[in-house]
Structures are given as C-alpha cells and as structure tokens.
Amino acid sequence: MRLLLVEDDVELGRRLSERLRAADFAVELATSRSVAEDWPDVDQLGAIILDLGLPDGDGLDLVRHWRGVRVETPIVILTARGSWQDKVEGLNAGADDFVVKPVRFEELLARLNAQFRRQHGSRSPAIAAGDLRLDPLARTVELAGQGLALSRQEFRLLHLFMRRAGQVLSQADIMDDLYELDRERELNTVEVLVGRLRRKIGRGRITTLRGMGYRFER
C-alpha cells in the first residue's frame, strides 16, 4: 500500500519513511504544503500522514482542500500541536485521526490500520478470504490454519488483493500501490510477483484477465 507522508522535518521524515517501508508500505515523502497540494494521485493513496506545521502553510488548509475536492483517502494528522482545540479543528476539517508527536511507531501503525479497517467496514484487523487469513498488524498469513512464509513484496501484494477482493487491478494499479512514484518500474515485476504468490496460495485464487489485469476471487 502506498502512503503519502507530509513532514517538513527532514530527519523525522526520513526515519518515519524507513519505518513505514519496513512495515511493507510504499512511502511518498512531501516536505512542504505546496508539494503535497500538487501531489498527482492523492485519491489513489492508501492513506496520508500529515504534519500540520509546514513551512509554507498550515496542514489544516490542506485537509480542507483535499476534502473540498472530494479526496476520500484517510488522513491521519501527525503533529506537535497537542491541544484539544487543534484536535477538534483537525478532525472537523476532515481528518480521520489525530496523533500527537512523539508517538511510538507501533501506535502509529495501529492507528493507520484502524483507518484501513474503517475504510473497508471491518472491525477486526485481520482480513479473510476462504481459508486464507492475513493479519496486517502481526504481518502474518495463514492458509488453512497453517502459517505461510511470504516475502515483503508478496505480503504487500496479497494485502492489496485481499483489500480489494473481487475488483480488477491493472498492473499500473498494483505498481502504484507497491512502489513509490520515483522508483524504476518494470511491468514484468508484477507478473513475476503474481506468479510467485499463486504458487504459495493456490492458482485459482488470482484470475488473469487478458488486457485488463488481475482479480482476487472472494
């Protein structure tokens, strides 16, 4: 899943990006309001983590702007402003959660996953499809009750498929979710990855639709 992290502090931005990538997210980093505001595909992102105190403007205005143009991507505000006045303003501007710095990474991850669950109407962090069960918090996958060893990219791909089960995902959709925009992309990477995943979870679970993409069967 691809996230947009809007953080002006270079060191904190670098560290959070590292952590999020280690947790199998693709992370885009914007260090100013103007860069974030012009981000090309905010509505395709899994979530936005937004600092409020940006050098060229207030992050709250960004929230209002995005909500004003019908961007429904979950927004988690991560800020040094800790008063309830700021929290109420942020949430009422359209943010989905409000986290005050410093935060333990596990808590930030849990709050992000809560947003993903809320987005998909599920109260449990785990996603299930038949006898396949994926827990994004524990980062485990079970097939018929047995643990399944997946690489980081395989896990991220399966997570994407299971979140959007029944939908057709093009190779570009998958690339967008798995990789940052500025990374080099080779389309056959997706084919290779899907092939490896099929071998581990069963061929019938992922259908190839020629010229369109892939569909994870419910």
Partner 1 sequence: MMMRPPLPGSLRLRFLLAITLWVVLGVGAIWFSAVGIFRTHVERSYHEELEVHVRELGRLTALAPDGRIVLTRPLSDPRYEEPLSGFYWQVTADGRAPLKSGSMTRGSLDEHIAHSPEILHTLDNGPTGPAITYGFTRTGPRGEDIHFVIATDQRELDRLVNSFTRDLTLWLVGLGALLLATGLAIIGFGLHPLDRLSRAIGRLRQGEAVELEGRYPVEIAPLAADLNAYIRQNSDMIARARVQAGNLAHSLRTPLAIITDEAERLAERPDSAAAGQVLLDQAGAMEQQIEYQLARARSSAGQPASGRTTRLPDVALPILKAMERLHPGKHFRLAVGGCSGTALPVDPVDYAELLSILLDNAGKWASAEVVLAFTCAADGAITATISDDGPGIPAPELARVFDLGVRLDPAVPGSGLGLAIARDLAATLGLRLDLTNRAQGLMAEVRFTP
Write out the residues near partner 1 by the rule CB under 8 A: 9, 11-12, 15-16, 19, 53, 80-89, 91-92, 95-98, 100-105, 107, 110-111, 118, 123
Nearer to partner 1, 139 or 200 (CB): 139
CA atoms of 212 and 206, how far apart (whole Å): 13
Nearer to partner 1, 76 or 169 (CB): 76
Residue in the block written with tokens 């980093």: 29
CA atoms of 133 and 149, how far apart (whole Å): 13
Nearer to partner 1, 66 or 98 (CB): 98
Name residue 56's amino acid: D
CB atoms within 10 A of CB 179: 17
CA atoms of 68 and 17, how far apart (whole Å): 27
Residue 213 Cβ vs partner 1, minimum distance, rounded to whole Å: 32
CA atoms of 24 and 178, how far apart (whole Å): 9
Nearer to partner 1, 86 or 142 (CB): 86
CA atoms of 130 and 144, how far apart (whole Å): 9
Residue 105 Cβ vs partner 1, minimum distance, rounded to whole Å: 6
CA atoms of 157 and 48, how far apart (whole Å): 20
Residue 108 Cβ vs partner 1, minimum distance, rounded to whole Å: 10
Nearer to partner 1, 35 or 100 (CB): 100
DSSP 147-170: E----HHHHHHHHHHHHTTTSEE-
Residue 137 Cβ vs partner 1, minimum distance, rounded to whole Å: 13
Residue 132 Cβ vs partner 1, minimum distance, rounded to whole Å: 27
